[in-house]
Copies of this chain bind each other. A is one copy, B any other.
Amino acid sequence: MSYNLLNGKKGIIFGALDSKSIAWKIAEKAHDEGAVFTLSNTPVALRFGEIQLLSEKCNAEVIPADATNVSDLEKVFTRTMELFGGKIDFVLHSIGMSMNVRKGRDYDDLDYDFFLKTIDVSALSFHKMLQVARKLDAINDWGSVLALSYIAAQRTLVGYNDMADAKALLESIARSFGYIYGRDKHIRINTISQSPTRTTAGSAIKGMDGLVDFTDRMSPLGNATAEECADFSIVLFSDLSRKVTMQNIYHDGGFSSMAMSLRAMTQYNKSLDEQS
């Protein structure tokens, strides 16, 4: 089903890896809703991912880029504008990676080169994207930029490690640049704080299964899926959300506003019963 919410809109989607990726679902949905866009990911990700399938499905050119590399980003924006004959309307940032997580380094035993890499890939890349767009004047007035975040930016989860700090920084960059870009060009910048999602990247988080079960039972509507996240992302790209900016919006079935649900408490209490 399509509402044509993005008819005539042009954009760039960073971070689609495979069909489990939230960015992948957003691309499919944006296509359904009438948008045209390019896709970008790192050369390595493009090699291992299945992005060619998505490219064909959405009729979207793939532009390889290391999102921490300013000149790569310039190419993505320049090539996209060239393709579409002018400025674009939306950008999605769905990028995150922590070598500390991958290598199993505990948070009190971080490697600082890894830490800076986490920051650069997962947060600073968003600033670079925005600064490149701003300098190239690549985004139309009233355009929309979106990044995907997680509640770890506000509340600590065991195992999420330095990605929590990167998400806090990412959300701060959304606010800081949201002020500048809003004031100068009426461009809005927001983040969506999404339920834990079983993407290929998400699976790297230790203890994901128990956590997903817990958050599902805590959330009155259950965990939000990648498809549902795509639905809401489309809204934020559409003209219906033009005055929402510098916000982090929880798309999480209500988890963020819960301290204890009946379902989670009942399940938890089973563990206590077993002890007695």
Chain A: residues with CB nearer than 8 A to chain B? 3-5, 70, 106-110, 112, 115-116, 119-120, 124, 127-128, 130-131, 134-135, 151-158, 161-162, 164-165, 168-169, 171-173, 175-184, 186, 188, 195, 207, 210-211, 213-214, 219-222, 224-225, 228-229, 231-232, 234-235, 238-247, 249-254, 256-263, 265, 267-272, 274-275
Contacts and interface: CB of A to CB of B under 8 A. Distances in A.
Contacts of A128: 112
B262 A183 contact: yes
Contacts of A127: 110, 115
A185 to B, nearest CB: 10
B246 A257 contact: yes
A218 to B, nearest CB: 10
A119 to B, nearest CB: 6
B259 A157 contact: yes
Contacts of A195: 243
Contact of A258 (B179, B242, B272): B179
A113 to B, nearest CB: 11
Contacts of A274: 270-271, 274
A160 to B, nearest CB: 8
A251 to B, nearest CB: 6
A13 to B, nearest CB: 18
Given A180-B107, A231-B241, A269-B210, A247 B249 contact: yes
A265 to B, nearest CB: 6
B157 A260 contact: yes
From A234, A249, A254, residue with most partner B Cβ within 10 Å = A254
19 contacts: A108-B130, A109-B131, A110-B131, A112-B128, A156-B175, A156-B246, A157-B258, A164-B172, A168-B169, A180-B220, A182-B253, A182-B254, A210-B272, A214-B268, A228-B242, A232-B244, A246-B258, A267-B272, A274-B274
